[in-house]
Structure 1
Amino acid sequence: MPKITSSAELRNNYNEISSFCHEYDEPVFITKNGKGDLAVMSIEAYEQLTASFELYGALKQGLDDIEAGRTMSAEEFLAELEAKHPELAGE
């Protein structure tokens, strides 16, 4: 269940809210005048969230490439890689 608190609570109990975000690794939703206004989370949780978005984007691009036929065999890939980087040949 999400934690919801007011902007006054954030102002008055910042350290407690910060501890919650770090301990539970989830956001706290902040309301202003009774309406949703912000989501506050630890830097670690934010970095994990953005890394997940980047991964999902890369997976989506890969699936789109497969669907569009933009693929090559492992042998073709290795030959192209060795042509671009001869120092890798034979490893």
Structure 2
Amino acid sequence: MPNIKPVSDLRNYNEVLKDISEGAPVFLTKNGRGRFAIVDINEYEKSQATIKLLTELLKAEKSVEKNNSWLSDEEIKKELGLNE
């Protein structure tokens, strides 16, 4: 269940920070609407790394499609030295 608190709880921010852990962000509301999320730094770094990886994979996929340069199974095995 999400941990939701009003932004006014930040007056006692140490209490809010105690509730944050990896996989359990604290969501802050302002005027009854979701406004901010506070996440553990490890979770943030993992999210950023995932976004970067997915961006690079998308660029690679677009490049391959544009140049029509997919490798066959045999070509991949040869590149990796897996020919039997």
TM range, smaller chain = 0.5 to 0.7
Find the counterpart in structure 1 of residue 2 from structure 2. Answer: 2
**Percent of aligned pairs with the same amino acid:** 34
TM-score (norm 2): 0.67
- The runs of 5 or more residues in structure 2 that have no matched partner are 80-84
Partners of 1:38 and 1:67 lie apart in 2 by 38
Find the counterpart in structure 2 of residue 45 from structure 1. Answer: 43
Specify which structure has the higher proportion of helix.
1
Does the 8 Å contact 1:18/1:42 carry over to 2? no
Q: CA deviation at 1:65?
A: 1.1
Structure 1 residue identity aligned to 2:16:
I
| 1:44-71 alpha-carbon deviations (Å, 9 max, x no partner) | 1111111110011011011111111164
- The runs of 5 or more residues in structure 1 that have no matched partner are 79-91
- Size of the aligned set, in residue pairs, is 73
4+ residue segments displaced more than 4 Å: 70-74
**CA root-mean-square deviation:** 2.3
Partners of 2:55 and 2:24 lie apart in 1 by 22
